[in-house]
A and B are shown apart, each in its own frame.
Chain A
């Protein structure tokens, strides 16, 4: 085999390796999700939808701290009805967050949930949550947004307190429009 053809073969393989690694970079995104689901790395809740009731563990009482956070530039008034909910593992519990839009325009928001400690995320099962969908509120409108959840009985003993936070992001269409306009004008964030 001549050096030239050996080189060509090697280049092909190495370029292929580079392309594969580029793909692998993107594959890290779903891999990370899987990894998070297994380890609760980032406190994302992955258990949603209907749940089978298998009895309540009345021996334990878990404190669930509810938090509402507004992300930058979000003027809604937003917070839980009950800041602290005490619940037995296995018990289905209904609570709600309140939101009102004090501005003079209609806005769309998306609530993003997060759980601390992250380890608890896989044991917090949300049957129904306002965070499944985006919320639209007209000017001055307000709404109670329900949340139905169960804490799995398998929750490790050492976790006695769970924090469930919702961060409200403004995803109103006019917001995106105004931002891209700014980009076109060459200006940055004003």
Chain B
């Protein structure tokens, strides 16, 4: 079953329904860091070298194709060796390449020098999202694709930053050396932002480092560059570079927001409120595997509609969402979502698609479960 799933939904045969059309480019971006600019220079240098060699070689070839054709009465000359010429045409490109190796080595040495970084950010690849932890700042969040699924399935016009937009940007200060510590939760991912010229594999069980120093404020978009499974194409990266003062302000705001979210868990929520919130959370965090319809993609991703977990014992349902299911792709969401979001999404799963348990899971219930575990840590 499920051998070839043809998406039977709308298949736009017209060529024009791209409402937004981002500007296309032919070349590498020079980027916004010193490193990215030296990489761009290297790229252009080697490119023009190749063009020059190509012109000479193909020039001679086409000249002889034109002049030495039999139809023009050309007679074959019988030379078939000239060692000196061969040595020369080997040594010239070799010399050019050695000359190229010098700036390339210098750039590479710089790229491998993360000394004196002012900010450490841990980047963790998940199937299929990124997690950013500002080390020393007690700030930690997940960054999910924000493009609605309707745009992917062509039911809605595509937005300007289609597939390159996320719910939470990685905000970074400009003019500050930032060190990234990269790892992964499951398979190998690769964190790539072209404008920063940072691409480094995130490997489960291993830590890699990379660094950048952004010169200009702005929003820079990238994508996962290593095949990591089904939604490899749907885990973008958005870096928002702001001046250092603004960054400090953002940090303070983000922490305040986190505190407010914890506060929100204490008030009481109605079933409708939870359902509404839960749908949002479900679409951004769960629908990639379990599908918006709740029908999943069995056998890899089981259905939630009418599933024993979603209509059965609520405790077990909470447990699997919080702690994941070992040996499967079901992740532990305890760190990914806050208590309100957890409560909302569980409520949603228990009441959507005809799963009419009528039960609402309250944020306090979740917070208690999480709190009990936290106290158990024994401080």
Contact = CB atoms under 8 A, between A and B. Distances in A.
Contacts of A100: 373, 376-378
Nearest to A187: B299
B299 A190 contact: yes
A161 B178 CA distance: 13
Interface size class of B (residues with CB under 8 A): 35 or more
Given A116-B181, A158-B113, A165-B183, A189 B204 contact: no
Interface in A100-157: 100, 102-104, 112, 114-117, 140-142
Contact of A103 (B135, B181, B323, B378): B323
A83 B377 CA distance: 17
B64 interface: no
A65 B181 contact: yes
A163 B114 CA distance: 12
Contacts of B181: 65, 67, 116, 163, 165
Interface in A18-52: 42-43
Given A160-B116, A163-B181, A75 B322 contact: yes
* B interface secondary structure, majority: loop
Given A67-B181, A103-B323, A163-B181, A72 B331 contact: yes
A94 interface: no
A142 B325 contact: no
A50 B373 CA distance: 36
Given A65-B135, A158-B115, A190 B325 contact: yes
Given A142-B376, A142-B377, A117 B209 contact: yes
- Interface size classification for chain A: 35 or more
Contact of B332 (A73, A167, A178): A73
Contact of B319 (A104, A141, A170): A104
B329 A190 contact: yes
Interface of B: 112-117, 120, 122, 124, 126-127, 135-136, 179, 181, 183, 185-186, 204-209, 298-302, 319, 322-332, 334, 370, 372-374, 376-378
28 contacts: A43-B207, A67-B181, A70-B332, A71-B185, A72-B126, A72-B186, A73-B325, A73-B327, A75-B323, A75-B332, A75-B334, A115-B207, A116-B207, A140-B372, A141-B376, A158-B113, A161-B179, A163-B207, A167-B206, A169-B205, A170-B326, A175-B326, A176-B327, A178-B326, A179-B327, A187-B299, A190-B325, A190-B330
Interface of A: 42-43, 65, 67, 69-75, 77, 83-84, 98, 100, 102-104, 112, 114-117, 140-142, 158, 160-161, 163, 165, 167, 169-170, 172, 174-176, 178-179, 182, 186-190
Given A102-B370, A165-B181, A182-B328, 4 more contacts: A65-B120, A75-B334, A77-B374, A190-B325
